[in-house]
Amino acid sequence: MASSSSAAQPAQNSKFRVLTASLVGTTIEFFDFYIYATAAVIIFPHLFFPASTDPTTATIQSLATFAIAFIARPIGAALFGHLGDRIGRKATLVAALLTMGISTVCIGLLPTYAQVGIAAPLMLALCRLGQGLGLGGEWSGAVLLATENAPEGKRAWYGMFPQLGAPIGFILATGSFLILGACMTEEAFMTWGWRIPFISSALLVIMGLWIRLKLHETPAFQNVLKKQKEVNVPFIEVFKKHSRMLILGTIAAICTFVVFYLTTVFALNWGTTKLGYSRAEFLELQLVATLCFAAFIPLSAVFAEKFGRKATSIGVCIVSAIFGLFFADMLESGNTLVVFLFLCIGLAIMGLTYGPIGTVLSEIFPTSVRYTGSALTFNLAGIFGASFAPVIATKLATNYGLYAVGYYLTAASILSLIAFLLIRETKHDDVNNQI
């Protein structure tokens, strides 16, 4: 009888396997995403958009392809969210990882504008679309893998592990370009060296697949299957019954995206083109400052467990809004130490806002549509908060000065603050039984 009872119990994932699978997967995804972000500033304007005689225009065109992925991410969220809420988290996570990985490797194999003309930027845009589709389904699944396997009172702590993949992926991406730039001539780097990070990501994808294929389905989704509560079309269900949370969650996450992409992609572009920093020098500053990003993610999880998700997020939005007022003075100070401090503060704020956002967005939706709902909110926020943020900031800085960029960050922070004020606290919710 004991043996029969044991056999009836659903298979459980070990804590180590859950946290490793969620962390490794998002590390790979964000590594792939960030090598594109870096290349979009320092490589692609020269190799894929040389028809433009104006360097600024070429950079804006390159950053426009960067934006394509954010437009594709809600589509990926709807597609993979449907699969995740219908067939389960595990299979969907594997599919999302493959979509992202294949697209990234293909970028490393693309011919340049000099070789095939206008076809080069078109193929680049197509690969970027694939990256966006994959990441649209990856992030939410990784967060759910962590939070739906978390013990009571530990959801924010478990939920921050996939978030750690962002700074680790950023460090790996930036570090790879720094190492390649130091080990080869500029001509070799621009000719073929830049391709190495894209192609080598295949090894990371294989590692991620090996870990994820060993997972069992999450207890929350097993409960949905047991009670036969799967939703036929989760996408429609989210819009019909959970539109308020969809809108508020999207607005709440905007600050997260704006603060990050202004501190990384925009700052890298502005620092190397307008402020006189070399590519290697500014990347080194960003690489070290990213340690603040990584360090403040666990801290945010501690705050979210102790004070609640809502209070923590509101406090961080206030800090971010204040930071926007000092944005211009610090970035264009002309003092490398102050610029480094600017990057550290900006990325520390990013860690504080990014750490609990996955937990927040997953907890405001019931299990039956949680994959789709959380994926849509996060990726719609990506469109409004990140896709055109570097382009908008570049235009604002060029036409009105850096102070306008700081005010842009402050406005985004206040907008997210209002949304968090309207979202209820979810710390004490029993998420595994919210069918």
CA angle, 415 then 420 then 426, to 5°: 160
Handedness of CA 359, 363, 367, 370 (dihedral sign): negative
Contact 97, 208 (CB under 8 A): yes
Count of positions (residues) in the chain: 435
Question: How many whole angstroms from its chain centre is CA 175?
Answer: 18
- Rounded to 5 degrees, what angle do the CA atoms 267, 271, 273 make? 120
As given in the structure block, the two tokens for residue 185 are 């001539």
Give the pLDDT of residue 315: 96
DSSP state of 36: H
| Domain map (residue ranges) of the chain | 16-219+232-422
Q: 44 vs 37, 110, 273, 279, CA distance in Å?
A: 10, 11, 15, 14
pLDDT of residue 220: 66
Nearest to 375 by CA among 187, 235, 254, 197: 235
Sequence-separated (6 or more) residues with CB below 8 Å from residue 91: 83
Nearest residue to 232 via CA among 75, 73, 372, 433? 372
Please check whether residue 300 is in contact with residue 167, taking contact to mean a CB–CB distance below 8 angstroms: no
Spans in the chain with pLDDT lower than 70: 1-11, 13, 51-53, 220-221, 224-231, 429-435
Instruction: Say which residue the tokens 């990506």 belong to.
Output: 382
Q: Position 123: which residue type?
A: M
User: Which are the contacts of 120, defined by CB distance < 8 A and separation ≥ 6?
Assistant: 47, 48, 110, 111, 112, 113
What is the number of helices (H) and of strands (E) in the chain? 20, 0
Q: Which CATH architecture has domain 16-219+232-422?
A: Up-down Bundle (1.20)
